[in-house]
């Protein structure tokens, strides 16, 4: 059966992939990195798309941890910014995280009604691709976008997932997908740091997050999915490893 991979960007693009696709949401700087890190640490993570939704959900949870930003600014009453580096320093893993961001959590909300929704960042692109290859014929990897721009770090993560799916026999659904995959093929993990997102982290003195992302490349062997409004861990199954061996080595 033919298998396809398509790269796209922005929440409004999701409508094209509501049926028949596994949708992968990517916001490397920083929402999906923060969400994946939270769950990998053993903390619940519930993304929301607005400040009102964050406060509403927090009011229904026991001792929630409010994480996030609006236009780059941490809202009043929040515990920490949308920061994976700050998150790993906390010991209060019992507190469920309510995560708000300007771009990534909006994309997650837009994708929530899709048939299958996964999260990716530079921590888990290889294992996620293997998981998808064993279960889904058509995959859409979608960057969150910031201020109308498909940011470099999200392009690279999308491209690296696509490249691994190519190894499993997937084909690019369109020329744009093939072009983005080719652009980032073989690049160093820090190739994106010449772009606007890295410049923002430097300008706003949030270098801990830049260093965290670069220090955690492909270090998680798991898939992370969005189910009923919560990010959940899907361990890298034995079936996925068997499928990898069958495709790559037989």
Residue 7 pLDDT greater than 70, yes or no: yes
DSSP string, 211-244: HHHHH-SS---EEEEEETTEEEEEE--HHHHHHH
Domains of the chain plus CATH, in order, are 4-249 (3.90.1560.10)
Confidence of residue 234 (pLDDT cuts 50, 70, 90): confident
**Alpha carbon separation from 228 to 47, 60, 84, 111, 113 (Å, rounded):** 11, 15, 23, 12, 10
Determine the pLDDT at residue 237: 53
pLDDT tens-digit map of 138-173: 999 999 999 999 999 999 999 999 999 999 999 999
- State residue 142's pLDDT score: 98
pLDDT value for 249 = 35
**pTM, 2 dp:** 0.94
Helix (H, G, I), strand (E, B) or coil at 43: coil
Alpha carbon distance 9, 68 (integer Å):
21
Characterize 70-86 residue by residue with b for buried, 16 or more Cβ atoms within 10 angstroms of its Cβ, and e for exposed. Answer: eeeebeeebbbbbbbbb
Q: What is the largest CA-CA distance in the chain?
A: 56
Q: How confident is the model at residue 242 (pLDDT cuts 50, 70, 90)?
A: very low
């Amino acid at each position: 059966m033919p298998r396809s991979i398509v790269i796209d960007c922005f929440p409004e693009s999701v409508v094209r992939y509501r049926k028949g696709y596994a949708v992968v949401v990517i916001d490397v700087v920083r929402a999906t990195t923060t969400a994946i890190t939270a769950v990998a640490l053993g903390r619940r993570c519930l993304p929301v798309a607005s400040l009102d939704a964050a406060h509403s959900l927090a009011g229904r949870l026991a001792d929630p941890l409010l994480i996030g930003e609006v236009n780059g600014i941490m809202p009043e009453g929040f515990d920490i910014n949308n920061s994976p580096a700050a998150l790993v320093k906390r010991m209060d893993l019992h507190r469920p995280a309510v995560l708000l961001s300007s771009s990534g959590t909006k994309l997650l909300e837009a994708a929530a009604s899709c048939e299958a929704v996964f999260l990716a960042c530079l921590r888990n692109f290889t294992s996620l691709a293997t998981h998808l290859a064993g279960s889904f014929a058509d995959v859409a990897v979608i960057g969150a976008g910031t201020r109308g721009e498909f940011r470099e770090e999200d392009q690279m993560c999308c491209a690296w997932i696509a490249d691994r799916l190519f190894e499993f026999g997937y084909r690019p659904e369109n020329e744009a997908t093939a072009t983005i995959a080719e652009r980032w093929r073989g690049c160093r993990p820090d190739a994106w740091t010449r772009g606007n997102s890295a410049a923002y982290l430097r300008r706003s003195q949030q270098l801990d997050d830049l260093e965290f992302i670069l220090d955690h490349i492909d270090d998680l062997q798991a898939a992370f999915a969005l189910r009923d409004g919560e990010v959940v861990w899907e361990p890298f199954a034995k079936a996925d490893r068997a499928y990898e061996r069958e495709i790559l080595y037989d």
